[in-house]
Amino acid sequence: MAPQPEGVRAYLEDAAGYAAEAAAACTRCMLCVAGCVSYRSLRDPRFSPPERLRLALRVLRGEVRDWRRALPLYACSMCRACTVLCPFRIEVWRVVHAARVRLAVEGRGPPSLAALAECVERGGHSFTDDPEQPRRLLLEAARKAGVGVDEPADYLYVPSAFETTPMYVGKLVNVLRALRRAGVSVTVSPRALDLGGNAAVDAARPDVGVKQFQRAVEVAEEVGARRLLTAVCGADLKAAMFGEEYFGLKREASRLTHVYQVLRGRVRCDGCRLHASCFVSRFTGLRPPLEAPWTRDRPPYTLCCGGGGGVNFAREPEIAELRRRIYAWRARALPPGRVVTACIKCYVSMSTGLLYAGRRDVRLELVTDVLASG
Ligand code: SF4
Ligand code: SF4
């Protein structure tokens, strides 16, 4: 095996041991497939959770050494729905992630995901190694929302990478407005543009992602912010979990807070239906501060948006085609009318899926959009 960054060896060894036990325990009962958005949309047994588990084990054993031969791993959104349905609670997502980490650190993963990790390492932002534009967008958003920059505050808000792109910067303005409206003491910094979850989870480089996380903690300390505040993206939360267990992030991870922990109280949203992201339904059990019924599927069995785990970021045509099919299927399963999601990644994935599926009867919003305008 090629030399590995610090922490990765222990992570892979633990995952390989767990994967072998899990594959032996798995009875192929297929109870898990009902929750797997990727299997249900692609209808191919290679994309079912038990087959992914076995493929990931082969990667971890060094028997599969090319991402093209491990394609089902790149269509797993790491949503954990299979785990809640499995009688043995097998953590397929975690084994899938470890297998992808092995391919990534050996330089055998999809090049577009390697490029994402390089952007984070060089420029501190998932989508560019020249962070001038994201910095400018962050400063503009802070000005519009009336939020200070690099000022002492209770919280340093670190946006998701989407929020500092021209297409989604309006979402950032609404998050900051919702925080201000709720009386939360918050600041932002052009030196903390990204918390590293996309690199750690989607690009399968937890070593790179956790360093980025660490940098954000240092910025918070420098500006005098008590804690980090994040957008609700499952990747950042998962990065904190890996970081805590394998990459020495314990103290920093314990300082991570997300927007729905500080936006207290409930706002009624008549005519809305809530989509529960993996973060809300399975990784935290949190209910966002919006009073509205869930979409047809409910936590913890909520079907994932399909966009986590790097499916959304990979540019290779083989993965892009899978993404198109997964997103379109997922969008067809949404009810008509006003659908509100708690997660920016779900918002991006599902709004893309609505375009693929030609659905014009769904109006998709973020919880923070509703809070900012209400
Ligand atoms: S539910 Fe669990 S045991 Fe059954 S096929 Fe899925 S992973 Fe295997
Ligand atoms: S983690 Fe989600 S996408 Fe991946 S195998 Fe399980 S249910 Fe399917």
pLDDT tens by residue, 240-254: 888 888 888 866 665
Cα of 31 from ligand 2 centre, angstroms: 12
Cα of 199 from ligand 1 centre, angstroms: 29
Based on the fold, state whether residues 238 and 129 are members of the same structural domain. yes
Based on the fold, state whether residues 179 and 302 are members of the same structural domain. no
Is 205 exposed, middle or buried (CB count within 10 Å of its CB: 0-12, 13-18, 19+)? buried
> How far apart, in whole angstroms, are the C-alpha atoms of residue 322 and residue 75?
7
* Residue 1 located in a structural domain: no
Query: H or E segment at 228?
Result: strand 225-230
* Residue 162 located in a structural domain: yes
Based on the fold, state whether residues 86 and 140 are members of the same structural domain. no
Dihedral sign (CA 287, 288, 292, 293): negative
* Residue 354 located in a structural domain: yes
Residue-level pLDDT at 287: 79
Both tokens of residue 198?
């996309």
Long-range pairs of 348-356 with CB within 8 A, sequence gap ≥ 24: 348/162, 348/168, 348/307, 348/312, 349/305, 349/306, 349/307, 349/312, 350/275, 350/305, 350/307, 352/307, 352/327, 353/305, 353/306, 353/326, 353/327, 353/328, 353/329, 356/324, 356/327, 356/328, 356/331
Of 304, 305, 322, the one to substitute when testing ligand 2's pocket (max ligand atoms within 8 A of C-beta) is 304
Based on the fold, state whether residues 102 and 217 are members of the same structural domain. no
Cα of 298 from ligand 2 centre, angstroms: 16
Based on the fold, state whether residues 117 and 98 are members of the same structural domain. no
* Residue 240 located in a structural domain: yes
For ligand 1, atom 3, name the residue with the nearest CA: 26
Based on the fold, state whether residues 312 and 218 are members of the same structural domain. no
Residue-level pLDDT at 250: 65
Last-in-domain residue among 109, 127, 160: 109
Question: Measuring CA to CA, how many Å separate 233 from each of 40, 172, 279, 350?
Answer: 23, 13, 7, 14
* Total count of domains within the chain: 3
Last-in-domain residue among 196, 228, 262: 262
Which ligand approaches the C-alpha of residue 22 most closely?
1
pTM greater than the 0.85 cutoff: yes
Q: 75 — phi, psi (to 5°)? A: -110, 15
> How far apart, in whole angstroms, are the C-alpha atoms of residue 74 and residue 56?
11
Residue-level pLDDT at 48: 98
Q: Which residues pair with 227 in a beta bridge?
A: 155
- Can you give the residue range of the structural domain that contains 41? 8-109
Residue-level pLDDT at 121: 96
For ligand 1, atom 7, name the residue with the nearest CA: 50
SS3 (DSSP) at 123: helix
Quick check: 203 and 194 in contact, CB under 8 A?
Answer: no
N-terminal to C-terminal alpha carbon distance within the chain: 55
Residue 330 Cβ inside 6 Å of ligand 2? The answer reads no
Residue 42 Cβ inside 6 Å of ligand 2? The answer reads no
Last-in-domain residue among 245, 262, 279: 262
* Residue 3 located in a structural domain: no
Residue-level pLDDT at 252: 61
Q: Which atom of ligand 1 is nearest to the CA of 86?
A: 1
The residue among 63, 60, 33, 34 whose CA lies nearest residue 46 is 33
Query: H or E segment at 112?
Result: helix 111-123
Of 46, 76, 90, the one to substitute when testing ligand 1's pocket (max ligand atoms within 8 A of C-beta) is 90
Quick check: 200 and 235 in contact, CB under 8 A?
Answer: yes
DSSP 3-state percent helix, strand, coil across the chain (nearest 5): 55, 10, 35
Q: What residues in the chain have per-residue pLDDT under 70?
A: 1-3, 250-255
Residue 35 Cβ inside 6 Å of ligand 1? The answer reads no
Both tokens of residue 169?
């910067």
Based on the fold, state whether residues 101 and 129 are members of the same structural domain. no
* Residue 365 located in a structural domain: yes
Based on the fold, state whether residues 14 and 51 are members of the same structural domain. yes
Both tokens of residue 195?
């918390």
> How far apart, in whole angstroms, are the C-alpha atoms of residue 257 and residue 237?
10
Cα of 244 from ligand 2 centre, angstroms: 23
Based on the fold, state whether residues 295 and 332 are members of the same structural domain. yes
* Residue 154 located in a structural domain: yes
Based on the fold, state whether residues 97 and 82 are members of the same structural domain. yes
* Residue 166 located in a structural domain: yes
Residue-level pLDDT at 357: 97
Based on the fold, state whether residues 229 and 274 are members of the same structural domain. no
Based on the fold, state whether residues 249 and 165 are members of the same structural domain. yes
> How far apart, in whole angstroms, are the C-alpha atoms of residue 335 and residue 296?
8
Which ligand approaches the C-alpha of residue 30 most closely?
1
